[in-house]
Amino acid sequence: MKIATRILVLAMLLPALNWLYVHTSYKSYLFEEADQLLQVEKVANCDVVYTSASSNFSPDPWHESHKKISEFIGESNPELLIEAFNIPASHARIHTILLRRIPPSSSIRTVIATVNLRSFGADWQNSILETPLNKKNVMYADRPPLLNRFLVSLNFYDNKSDLERENIKLDLWAQTTLPLERVKSNVIDWCAEEKWGDWTNPKRQLADQFIKQYAFVLDESNATVHEFDAMIEICKERNWKLIMHILPENIEKADSLVGSDLTDLMVQNATWLERRFIGKGATVINNVDLLPSSCFTDKDFPTEHYNEVGRRSIASSFSNKLKTD
């Protein structure tokens, strides 16, 4: 009886403590540690949601407009209110969790999902940024906020160390076979090919990064593919139109540094994704080879950061799609 009474008191206490937390510290914690959830309210009242990692908002800082791709799309479609989830290094899983938090009563009609080819590769999937992103995800889950905060302090997320992630990545690069000649049969062997001399040569370093980011063959077992499937499901549930945008990659640079073996893989993977997502009922814009190398702002690492010309070109391919559809 004594224990039953205590359990009852505890059961009444926890909702009260949750109420206290929501009305005192919750917002400030979100602001400091998991601020994307605060964007959900803003996004809920728009027509189109644009979900992306840094590709939307990483212009060349020195000499051009800082407008985002989503803003350029908005300029071409003034009748539509477009808002964006911009989360550096994020991917479909995080975007899907945030989309789930949008109230069913929202005015959203269309979701634009950016599909970043690199996010399907071992390097991105096992990035050291995953642990902090996973930690934020705990706060995004649809549970009482105090419970979420408690779960963060209990490390209730995939919190592998940097070393563990690095080892997983190295294993995948060594063990995943590529359908190429023997010296390129996996990422490690391919990188070992000394086309540009030794490690001190910047071209060698960049060529290796291209191989590490794009040398994979997509299939149904890829974890990121399933994350996009979950996004397709939530869009179907909410009756939102989903546009999957396969982002432009620096194919020109990849070709000049590594060669057609790699660019063929990149294009094949993009085409595979296009077919698959269309088959699942999504609209797909495949822009993988849209931009020349000059539109990519980062010169020492393969990224999806574009200059103004690039961002405008992407937006124009998009807005046309929005209009015609």
Partner 1 sequence: MVFNSLPFLIFFPTIILLYYVLPHRYRWLLLLLASYFFYGFWKVEYLSLIVFSTVVDFYVARYLNQSDVQARRRLALSFSLFSNLGLLFFFKYSNWFMNDVLHPISFISDGNLHFWNSNWNFLLPVGISFYTFQTISYTIDVYYRRITPETNPFKFALFVSFFPQLVAGPIERFSHLNHQLFKRVDFDYANIQNGARLMLYGLFIKMCVADNIAPIVDQIFDSQDEASTQQLWAGMGLFGIQIYSDFHGYSLIAIGAARMLGIKLMDNFNAPYASLSIREFWTRWHISLSSWFRDYLFIPLGGSRVNWLRFGVNILIVFILSGLWHGANWTFIMWGAIHGFYYLIERWTGFSSMKSNAMKPIQWITTMLVVFIAWVFFRSPDIASGLDYISGLLYFHKGSLLLDWNVLLISFIGLFMLSDLAFSNGKISDWLDSKSFVSRWIVYALMIYSIMAFSGTVNHPFIYFQF
Q: By the criterion CB under 8 A, which residues form the site for partner 1?
A: 2-3, 9, 13-14, 17, 20-21, 25, 33, 135, 146-147, 149-156, 159
Least distance to partner 1, CB of residue 135, Å:
7
Burial-class residue 246 by CB neighbours within 10 Å (0-12, 13-18, 19+): buried
Least distance to partner 1, CB of residue 1, Å:
10
Instruction: Give the whole-angstrom CA distance, residue 231 versus residue 242.
Output: 9
Least distance to partner 1, CB of residue 158, Å:
11
The residue written with tokens 């961002």 in the block is 311
> CB within 8 A of 237, min separation 6: which ones?
none
Least distance to partner 1, CB of residue 43, Å:
26
Q: Residue 105 or residue 153: which is nearer to partner 1 going by CB?
A: 153
Least distance to partner 1, CB of residue 139, Å:
10
The residue written with tokens 């990121």 in the block is 224
Instruction: Give the whole-angstrom CA distance, residue 246 versus residue 250.
Output: 13
HSE value, Cβ hemisphere, 13 Å, CA-based, for 279: 8
Q: Residue 29 or residue 196: which is nearer to partner 1 going by CB?
A: 29
CA distances from 284 to 7, 22, 108, 230, 305 (A): 53, 40, 19, 16, 20
Least distance to partner 1, CB of residue 147, Å:
8
Q: Residue 153 or residue 221: which is nearer to partner 1 going by CB?
A: 153
Instruction: Give the whole-angstrom CA distance, residue 119 versus residue 149.
Output: 28
Q: Residue 131 or residue 256: which is nearer to partner 1 going by CB?
A: 131
Tokens of 315: 């937006």
